[in-house]
């Protein structure tokens, strides 16, 4: 689910990759939905991919990949909850709805820039953060490494620990 340099902003919070923090049911609280990102189109410098972000009336963001010519590609539903990252920095737990349940990432904003990182349970550090905070590591096959969570507290604690060593990559900027 969105790898180390967390793919596209929450934005392509296509967290739905192959090795992530996940749960069958939503562990974030829709009643505590955070809305730090303005609606608009976001893009990373040097990347042609663009993502349209819109906040829905239900508190979830809808993130759509916008192709050349205005065609809409993949879209994702993403929910943010405020959290404190290691070191005291304000950040956000990110949940993306997937066909199998939910995938999680962490984000923070800095002067209008959106930084996103997604844990990868293939990485021993990310996996240890998850297991140390109560997740169960599962390897469905050589390509699918998932750390499954059962409680909100566990996923938030693991994401905060992960953020301390995560590679957030290039920021997404509103265009």
Looking at the chain, the whole-number percentage of residues with pLDDT higher than 70 is 85
In a domain, 9, yes or no: no
In a domain, 11, yes or no: no
Residue 14 pLDDT greater than 70, yes or no: no
Number of other residues whose CB lies within 10 A of the CB of residue 24? 11
Residue range(s) defining the domain that contains residue 32: 19-168
Number of other residues whose CB lies within 10 A of the CB of residue 99? 5
Q: Write down the pLDDT at residue 74.
A: 80
In a domain, 94, yes or no: yes
- Residue-averaged pLDDT of the chain: 86
Q: Write down the pLDDT at residue 161.
A: 94
Number of domains in the chain: 1
Residue 146 φ/ψ, nearest 5 degrees: -125, 140
In a domain, 13, yes or no: no
Q: Which residues have CB under 8 Å from 112's CB, separation 6+?
A: 173, 174
pLDDT in tens, 137-170: 987 655 568 999 999 999 999 999 999 999 998 9
In a domain, 138, yes or no: yes
In a domain, 174, yes or no: no
**Which of 123, 117, 122, 121 has the alpha carbon at shortest distance from 93?**
117
pLDDT in tens, 48-90: 889 999 999 999 999 999 977 766 778 899 999 999 987 788 9
Q: Please, what is the Cα angle at 127 between 126 and 130, to 5 degrees?
A: 90
Give the H/E segment covering residue 159.
helix 152-163
In a domain, 5, yes or no: no
In a domain, 4, yes or no: no
Q: Which of 105-109, 112-116, 135-139, 147-151 is predicted with the least confidence, judged by mean pLDDT?
A: 135-139
């Amino acid at each position: 689910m969105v790898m180390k340099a967390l793919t596209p902003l929450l934005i392509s919070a296509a967290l739905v990759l192959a090795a992530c923090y996940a749960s069958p049911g939503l562990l974030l609280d829709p009643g505590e939905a955070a809305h730090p990102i303005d609606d608009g189109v976001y893009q990373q410098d040097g990347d042609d991919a663009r993502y349209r972000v819109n906040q829905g009336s239900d508190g979830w963001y809808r993130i759509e990949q916008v192709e050349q010519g205005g065609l809409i590609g993949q879209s994702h539903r993403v929910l943010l909850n405020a959290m404190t990252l290691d070191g005291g920095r304000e950040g956000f737990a990110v949940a993306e709805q997937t066909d199998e349940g939910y995938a999680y990432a962490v984000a923070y904003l800095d002067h209008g820039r959106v930084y996103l990182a997604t844990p990868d349970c293939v990485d021993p550090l990310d996996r240890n953060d998850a297991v140390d905070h109560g997740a169960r590591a599962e390897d469905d096959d050589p390509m699918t490494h998932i750390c499954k969570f059962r409680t909100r507290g566990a996923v938030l604690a693991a994401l905060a620990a992960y953020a301390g060593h995560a590679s957030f990559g290039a920021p997404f900027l509103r265009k």
